[in-house]
Every structure is written in C-alpha cells, then in structure tokens.
C-alpha cells in the first residue's frame, strides 16, 4: 500500500472515530501527529535499510552507494508526498 492510500485511510478512520465535538484545530493537530509518525517511521526504515545495504555490499562499496542514492530518492519522494497531504 502506498503512503498516500495509507494516509487517506488513517485520516478517514480517525475522522470517523474522533468525537464530533472536538474542535477543528485539535482534530488537525491529531492528524498532524499521525503524519509526523508516518514520516518518522519512513525515516527509520530508510536508515535501517541503508545500513543493511552497506553491510551486504561492504566490499563493493560503489554498489552500496548506488543503492543508498536510490533509497534516498525514494525517501525524499515519500516525504514530499506526505507533506503534500497536509
């Protein structure tokens, strides 16, 4: 599932679950907390995968760096998508 679909699903579920008497400002704060958590999770996963690439490709450092660059591009795209959902 891509992050946009996941974010939309979580936002919908939160809106359905949260009480109707919660002010819009607090509702947005709650949704922002969830967005930040998703970004943090993406960042941690990315960092862990980079470490795995370096360990697995140790002797072939050039390959590890190419993998890291690709992963960095995908991470940047994911974060941009999450930020665009604000």
Domain ranges in the chain are 41-86
Q: At what angle do helices 24-56 and 3-17 cross, to 10 degrees?
A: 150
Q: Which two tokens stand for residue 49?
A: 């995968």
Distances (CA, A) of 66 to 8, 56, 57, 80: 32, 13, 10, 21
* The pTM of the whole model exceeds 0.85: no
Sequence-distant (6+) residues with CB within 8 A of 38 are 3, 6, 7, 10, 82
pLDDT tens over the chain, length 86 residues: 466 677 778 878 887 888 778 888 888 888 888 878 877 887 788 788 777 777 776 666 677 677 778 878 887 887 777 777 65
């Amino acid at each position: 599932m891509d992050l946009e679909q996941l974010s939309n699903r979580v936002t919908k579920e939160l809106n359905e679950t949260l009480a109707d008497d919660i002010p819009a400002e607090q509702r947005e704060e709650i949704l922002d907390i969830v967005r930040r958590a998703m970004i943090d999770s993406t960042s941690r996963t990315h960092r862990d995968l980079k470490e795995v690439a370096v360990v697995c490709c140790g002797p072939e450092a050039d390959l590890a760096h190419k993998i890291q660059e690709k992963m960095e591009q995908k991470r940047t795209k994911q974060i941009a998508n999450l930020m665009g959902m604000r």
